[in-house]
Amino acid sequence: MRLDGKVVLVTGASRGIGLGIVERFHEEGAIVYAGSTSNPSGVYPDGVTGITLDVADEAQWKTAIKQIVEARGRIDCLVNNAGIAVYDGVADGSTENWRKVIGVNQDGVFFGMREVIPHMQKEKSGSIINISSIWGKAAVAGAHAYHASKGALVMMTKNAAITYVKEGIRVNSVHPGFIDTPLTQAQDPAINEFVIGMTPMGRAGTPREIANGCLYLASDEASFVTGAELVIDGGYLAQ
């Protein structure tokens, strides 16, 4: 039980990587709150608490963290997983799409860290895990706002790690490669074929493989790890 009794909030938790993290953390004894815009019933394991959370909405963040802290007295770990992708390039990108992607992928992480860090400071302990992407470190054509937002998470993570390291708070980023999720299943098959074809292992990853990496970062086993970039991509970025 590597997370026994730890109070955790996972965003974007209703499917894909988020749901995989919820399930894995629950298996290891965490007290898990699963945040999503849909907050679907019947999806989460027994004992997991679903909460409605649009990460781009500051007010919903305040409500969610207040709910958790009032119920449990603290929050030990935040996994900023919620994210969206739009495949516009710079020249054909709309302001609406840009702001939507940045609002979820970047603003949402800022709001989340801002809300939980004061509670972690009181406990002199905490782990924040920001889910970035291989496309926060390398580019493909299009997806300009997605690249910008996921790249920003790298430095947002490192800054928070250094700023709060003396207060027992660890902040790390995770960079998944191509993962088989409802999000990737719904996008253009040509994109999927391209990325899998560029992956040395020749296959998609699974949400559980990402969750296993997050489990390590959330646990006390990673007590000397902060500001790190954990790449889980089947060798994509090694090329």
- The stretches of the chain forming alpha helices (DSSP H) are 16-27, 58-72, 95-102, 108-123, 144-164, 182-185, 189-197, 207-218
Contact of 54 with 106, CB cutoff 8 Å: no
Q: What is the DSSP-derived secondary structure letter of residue 205?
A: B
Active site residue 146: yes
Residue 221 makes CB contacts below 8 A (sequence gap 6+) with: 2
Q: How far apart are the first and last CA of the chain?
A: 36
How many Cβ atoms sit within 10 Å of the Cβ of residue 138? Answer: 15
Among the listed residues 33, 44, 146, 236, the single catalytic one is 146
How many Cβ atoms sit within 10 Å of the Cβ of residue 220? Answer: 10
Q: What is the C-alpha separation between 169 and 163, in angstroms, rounded?
A: 9
Residue 71 makes CB contacts below 8 A (sequence gap 6+) with: none
Q: What is the DSSP-derived secondary structure letter of residue 37?
A: S
**Which residues is 170 bridged to in the sheet?**
127
Q: What is the C-alpha separation between 178 and 171, in angstroms, rounded?
A: 23
State phi, psi for 13 to the nearest 5 degrees.
-95, 0
Residues with a known catalytic role: 146
